[in-house]
Amino acid sequence: MVATDFKDYYAILGVSKTATAEEIKKAFRKLARKYHPDVNPGNREAEARFKEINEAYEVLSDPEKRRKYDQFGQYWKHAGSTPGGWTSSPGVDFGGFDFSNFASFDEFINELLGRASGFGTSSSRSGRWNYSYRTSHSGTSGFGGFSNFEDFASGFGDAKSSASLDKEGTITLTFAEAFKGAQKRLNIGSEIIDVRIPAGAKPGSRIRVKGKGNINPFNQQRGDLYLVVEIQPHPFFQFEGENLVCEVPITPDEAVLGAQIEVPTPDGNVTVKVPAGIRSGQSLRLAGKGWPKPKGGRGDQLVRIVIVAPKEISPIERELYEKIRAHRIFNPRSHLHSVRL
């Protein structure tokens, strides 16, 4: 149904509507660190704020979602959602059936199945999910292979119907749940099921729950439920291929002289040696400290170094920096003298 609880995602992140992707990312990270549940244990207001920040970033960081949000406001999720995703054309007759009550063709199908077998769209108690009933396109009509609406509504022609009995939906996990694995309880229509999430689930992973799909009304056979994993953004860790990536700032003196620094990993902090002369943007590899692999073992964690110059320094620091400048022999721009058009 059409949403009426409009949320100003720009205001939630504290950015303007003309903000760049980098500005949106920077604002999200700042707020996520402030309101993260690990920083505010037991604070429900901070937890709610953190979820709101994640929701805003999920939309504004996606160019296509942001475009729809900017164009359609509170109706952005339903933009262009005519039955089956088609654009209506004058003169098309749907046999007198009114599709205007449905936001999309998928919603119509789910509503129909909900009346026929008791499996409507639902939300879980811990994590969210939804599904779309999938139909084949072997027929010539606009209803995915059914010759008319009566055939479609009657519960499919035979056991070898052109519709799949499988359900597919999404389940949202925190980084900790995806890393360690979790037991989630889902409410599917009139039944409650427990689903085990294996350790190391990644965005896009598909979890099969056997025998929890739709029921064939003729032979009572049941399809499977497939849950596609989504993971809430984390303020520090990110995925990059098979590796876990993070950014760690160091000072100019640590970059020049080298240092021993503390770096967070999924298992806790570890001491990492920063070699002298490291450049900003270089990465240090922590072998076996990354994401769990499906067949056992762990991937690597990449620590991307960012050299940060202090904005405020003491009088002694200023004096020492001036001495360094006066006696410095290294010129990082010496190679630019030979640049010509």
Residues 129, 3: Cα–Cα separation, whole Å: 18
pLDDT at 148 over 60: no
Q: How confident is the model at residue 82 (pLDDT cuts 50, 70, 90)?
A: very low
- Residue 248 parent element (H or E): strand 243-250
Report the SS3 class of residue 15.
coil
pLDDT at 73 over 60: yes
- The DSSP bridge pattern shows strands 243-250 and 301-307 to be parallel
Question: What fold does the segment set 101-231 form as a domain?
Answer: HSP40/DNAj peptide-binding domain (2.60.260)
Residues 310, 29: Cα–Cα separation, whole Å: 20
CB 233 within 8 A of CB 54: yes
Q: How confident is the model at residue 326 (pLDDT cuts 50, 70, 90)?
A: very high
Per-domain residue ranges of the chain: 9-78, 101-231, 238-330
Q: Residue 135 burial by CB count (10 A; 0-12/13-18/19+): exposed, middle or buried?
A: buried
pLDDT at 75 over 90: no
Residues 293, 300: Cα–Cα separation, whole Å: 10
Question: What fold does the segment set 9-78 form as a domain?
Answer: Helix Hairpins (1.10.287)
Residues 164, 206: Cα–Cα separation, whole Å: 17
Residues 120, 113: Cα–Cα separation, whole Å: 7
Amino acid, single-letter form, for residue 18: T
pLDDT at 30 over 80: yes
* pLDDT score for 80: 54
Question: What fold does the segment set 238-330 form as a domain?
Answer: HSP40/DNAj peptide-binding domain (2.60.260)
Torsional class of 297: left (φ above 0), alpha (ψ -120 to 50), beta (otherwise): left
In the 8-state DSSP scheme, what is residue 92?
-
Residues 135, 165: Cα–Cα separation, whole Å: 9
Q: Mark out the alpha helices in 36-130 (DSSP H runs).
A: 44-60, 63-72, 105-117
CB 9 within 8 A of CB 55: yes
Residues 70, 60: Cα–Cα separation, whole Å: 9
Least confident of 61-65, 126-130, 232-236: 126-130
* pLDDT score for 79: 60
Q: Which residues contact 167 (CB under 8 A, 6 or more apart)?
A: 119, 131, 133, 212, 213, 214, 223, 224, 225, 226
pLDDT at 143 over 50: no
Residues 211, 225: Cα–Cα separation, whole Å: 7
Q: For 274-292, what is the mean pLDDT?
A: 95
Q: What is the pLDDT of residues 156-192, one digit of tens each?
A: 334 334 357 888 888 999 999 999 999 999 887 778 8
Q: Do domains 101-231 and 238-330 have the same CATH topology?
A: yes
Q: Which residues contact 231 (CB under 8 A, 6 or more apart)?
A: 172, 173, 174, 175, 178, 201, 202, 203
Residues 341, 337: Cα–Cα separation, whole Å: 12
